[in-house]
């Protein structure tokens, strides 16, 4: 049996669009992913990024859950230091009551934004230091074993929403192993420590009652097309937009300026973030993803669809589903259950 495939949706806002168009596309993407047999869709908390509309994953999940039937929906992730654990327990407890056995909660400790925006969120940058304790507190609310006497999350208590530790370094691997939780590595944009972190996690995993075995979700970029030439054309466009966004930071860049940055050390550093990308037709994509899954010691792959338009991303998802022989009857479920 092939590994489950899931999708992370950044709710991209393309130039000249309204945010509401991004949300409408996210519904379409989720419905199509469900029809094709993908296991989950996750939404990641980002702030103050004009091309990403997934600032509030819980609200998006509620909207999309009402228009899908069985695909698992989750945060990939909520940046927990930005929030009170109690508030997140209430939010995701509410979702779990709305959509039983469909909700996941991935947790990250990065702010998901810049320092100015962090101040606007009324958060102290040092809040990240309490991430391990916040995870334990949050889990207590969701399992009905609150660590604060007399305080229960309602909704939330007893929903047992599964927690996933997100990471791109050794910190997340160590914490997930210590707490006996599934681990999701952000190798789609932070490839450097993938093998080291996953190996540590597997070798040092401390079984928990709910998750007796380690479980690794590894994220990978995919650009699938009907021809290799088309896939490479799309990839070039993705690369140019990635460098424009990260190096330009809102400034206008001519094509000549963009070329110069792409060919610079800075530009190559940005593109190196996309190291783990499968590019090509169905057969090539299948081969490359199998190789990546082995390298990552993955139990599940989280796909970041890379294209320069919604139509390209949708076609890429369809080609990948055919290449992977996905079965719409399958869902990933909760690891260990």
- The dihedral built from the CA positions of residue 44, 48, 52 and 54, taken in this order, carries a sign that is positive
Which CATH entry fits the domain spanning 5-224+275-324: 1.10.10.10, 2.60.120.680, 1.10.3720.10, 3.20.20.30? 3.20.20.30
Instruction: Say which residue the tokens 């939780």 belong to.
Output: 181
pLDDT of residue 1: 47
Cα 221–chain centre separation? 11
Provide the token pair at 140: 């207590």
Instruction: Give this prediction's pTM.
Output: 0.94
- The dihedral built from the CA positions of residue 121, 149, 104 and 125, taken in this order, carries a sign that is positive
Find out whether 295 and 205 touch, Cβ atoms under 8 Å.
Answer: no
What are the boundaries of each domain within the chain? Answer: 5-224+275-324
What does the pLDDT look like over 200-224, one tens digit per residue? Answer: 999 999 999 999 999 999 999 999 9
Burial class of 158 by CB neighbour count within 10 A (0 to 12, 13 to 18, 19+): middle
Find out whether 196 and 226 touch, Cβ atoms under 8 Å.
Answer: no
What does the pLDDT look like over 59-114, one tens digit per residue? Answer: 999 999 999 999 999 999 999 999 999 999 999 999 999 999 999 999 999 876 77
145/304 Cα distance (integer angstroms): 35
pLDDT of residue 112: 63
What 8-state DSSP symbol labels residue 4?
P
> Stretch 117-126: mean pLDDT, rounded?
79
Find out whether 32 and 317 touch, Cβ atoms under 8 Å.
Answer: yes
Compute the C-alpha angle 246/251/252, nearest 5°.
Answer: 110
Provide the token pair at 155: 């909704």
Q: What is the mean pLDDT of the chain?
A: 93
Cα 130–chain centre separation? 22
């Amino acid at each position: 049996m092939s590994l489950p495939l899931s999708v992370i949706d950044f709710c991209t806002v393309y130039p000249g669009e309204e945010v509401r168009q991004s949300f409408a596309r996210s519904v379409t993407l989720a419905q199509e992913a469900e029809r094709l047999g993908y296991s989950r869709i996750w939404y990641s908390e980002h702030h103050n990024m004009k091309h990403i509309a997934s600032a509030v994953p819980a609200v998006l999940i509620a909207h999309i859950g009402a228009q899908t039937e069985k695909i698992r929906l989750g945060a990939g992730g909520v940046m927990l230091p930005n929030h009170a654990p109690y508030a997140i327990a209430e939010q995701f407890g509410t979702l779990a009551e709305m959509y039983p056995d469909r909700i996941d909660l991935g947790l990250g400790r990065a702010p998901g934004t810049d320092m100015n925006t962090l101040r606007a969120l009324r958060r102290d940058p040092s809040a990240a230091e309490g991430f391990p304790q916040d995870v334990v507190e949050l889990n207590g609310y969701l399992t009905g074993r609150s660590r604060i006497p007399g305080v229960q999350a309602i909704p939330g208590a007893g929903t047992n929403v599964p927690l996933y530790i997100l990471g791109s370094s050794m910190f997340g691997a160590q914490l997930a192993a210590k707490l006996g939780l599934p681990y999701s590595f952000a190798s789609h944009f932070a490839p450097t420590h993938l093998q080291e972190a996953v190996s540590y996690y597997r070798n040092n995993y401390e079984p928990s009652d709910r998750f007796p075995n380690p479980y690794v979700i590894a994220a990978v970029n995919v650009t699938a097309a009907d021809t290799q030439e088309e896939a490479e054309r799309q990839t070039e466009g993705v690369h140019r937009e990635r460098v424009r966004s990260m190096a330009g930071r809102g400034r206008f860049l001519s094509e000549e300026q963009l070329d110069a940055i792409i060919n610079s050390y800075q530009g190559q550093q940005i593109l190196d973030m996309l190291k783990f990308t499968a590019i090509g037709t169905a057969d090539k994509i299948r081969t490359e993803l199998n190789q990546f899954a082995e390298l990552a010691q993955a139990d599940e792959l989280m796909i970041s669809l890379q294209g320069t338009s919604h139509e390209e991303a949708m076609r890429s998802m369809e080609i990948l589903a055919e290449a992977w022989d996905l079965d719409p009857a399958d869902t990933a479920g909760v690891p260990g259950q």
